[in-house]
Structures are given as structure tokens and as C-alpha cells.
Amino acid sequence: MGKGSKYVSHKPGPDGHIEWSAEENAIWRILIERQLKAIEGKACDEYLAGLERLDLPRRRIPQLEAVSARLRAATGWSLKAVPALISFDSFFQALANRQFPVATFIRRRDELDYLQEPDIFHEIFGHCPLLTNPAFAHFTHTYGRLGYAAGKEERVFLARLYWMTVEFGLLNTPQGLRIYGGGILSSPGETEYAVNSPLPERKPFDILEVMRTPYRIDIMQPIYFVIDDIAELYEIAEMDLMAVVQQARALGLRPPRFDTDDKRAG
């Protein structure tokens, strides 16, 4: 989660409404229009169905309650406005309560292509469409419950599971490789890279390998894990995940595929 942020989140009013500036709404429009083009033929059907269900506005940043109303109708989830950075306890607790935390700021024009901190575009466009899917929603809720109860070292292994699924997961389909991870779906560069680049390794999903695979947050991913059906996320959530965490701890990590002299590795 980090210790500091150069962004300051908007504080919602008593009715939950946030006043966004014309510039902030313009940035949303740029981001959503170019990303809708980028994900054509690359996003999974379940994500696209969720995107249609949410019916996100193109010309302005959506109000959280409008998105929450559609999520509640689909899977019982809602959005929770949070500061730019929150603690792991707060993050896990929100997910455990079926509340998806959304930092109420949007990136500046000079950071359109990449932002280390998750802003409102990443959270709403990248993640919320799949929260309308029961399997994805159940997986995220279970992850939150387990993470909230877990110890500090156990959370590190759970974080790798989240990273390789919710953030950077890929899906095999009859039409070819498709994306379901929000970290990819909110990034034009990684959308193209994840599906078409010959550089990364794409491995069949193995939960023990996932928890043993280091990652870095500020590079194109060297490894993606691929599931064959979104319904697999429900099955993964029903596993004894904490037992897998203990197995992964005992076996240790795989050698990283990147420079390790950086605190942004997980």
C-alpha cells in the first residue's frame, strides 16, 4: 500500500456525491475511450458483460453510488470511497464486507499511461465489471476474509494470489487468450503486451506456483497464469487456501525474473 501519495483523494459529501473538475472528467473521457478500443478482441466475455451492465459514463467520472447500485443488484457488492492509500487491514476488511475500495482521485495527464497507485479509473474500469460475475465476486470476498484474518507473512503469499488473478489474470477461450485481470484491462500497454507479446511466459494456473512466484508492480509482467474458465475462481476460493500458503512458505519462492534490488517487488 505504500507510505505516502502525491495524490489527494476527494472527500464525498454527506450524500456520497463527489464534485469532479472539468479537467478530471476530461481525463476520465480520454482514459475510457482509448481503453475501450485497446480491449477489443482481448477482454474476456464475462468482463464485457459486466461492463455493459455497469453502463459507465464516457464523459464524466461515475458517482460511486450509481456503480454500487448496479453491483448490489448483481452480486451484493458495493464501492467504498477511500483515501489514496489505505492499510492492508482496511483493504482486507472492505473486501470481507463485500465493499470494493476505490480511491477517489484520478491520475494527471502526465501519468495517463502508467500510475503505481490505483486510481478511480483503474478500480472502476479495471475491476468493477467483473464484480458483477458471481464466481469472481465470491473469490474476491473469500480472499478478503482470509486476508483479514491472516498474519503479516501469510498476507505476502496471499498478495501473490491476488496479483496473478484479480490484477493480472488471463483466460483461455475458444477464441484465444483473453484478459480478466484489472491491472491489465486498465492499461493500454499491458493489454497489448499480455495477449500478443512473445516476451512473457504464460503458464497454466497452479495455485502453489502462483504463491511461490515473485512479482514487481512497476514492470510489464514476465509471467502470467492462465485459467480455462472464470468459474475456476469459485473453485479456487473453496480450496483450503491457508494450507496452500503454508506449503508455499515451506517450499520457498521461485527465482525472480526481474531485478530484485527494488522494494516494489512482492
Active site residue 127: yes
Active site residue 10: no
Q: Is 17 annotated as a binding residue?
A: no
Per annotation, catalytic residue among 68, 78, 186, 187: 186
Catalogue the E-assigned strands of 19-147.
78-82, 99-103
Q: Is 111 annotated as a binding residue?
A: no
Say which residue the cell 495527464 belongs to: 109
Q: Is 167 annotated as a binding residue?
A: yes
Per annotation, catalytic residue among 9, 68, 127, 154: 127
Active site residue 186: yes
Per annotation, catalytic residue among 122, 154, 187, 190: 122
Distance CA 188, CA 178 (A): 14
> Letter for the amino acid at 264?
R
Per annotation, catalytic residue among 9, 167, 187, 190: 167
- Among residues 217, 215, 208, 202, the alpha carbon closest in space to that of 252 is found at 208
Beta bridge partners of 176: 173
Active site residue 167: yes
Residue 150, all three cell numbers? 491472516
Distance CA 216, CA 202 (A): 16
- Among residues 254, 240, 169, the alpha carbon closest in space to that of 211 is found at 254
Binding residues for Fe cation: 122, 127, 167
Binding residues: 122, 127, 167
Q: Which residues are catalytic?
A: 122, 127, 167, 186
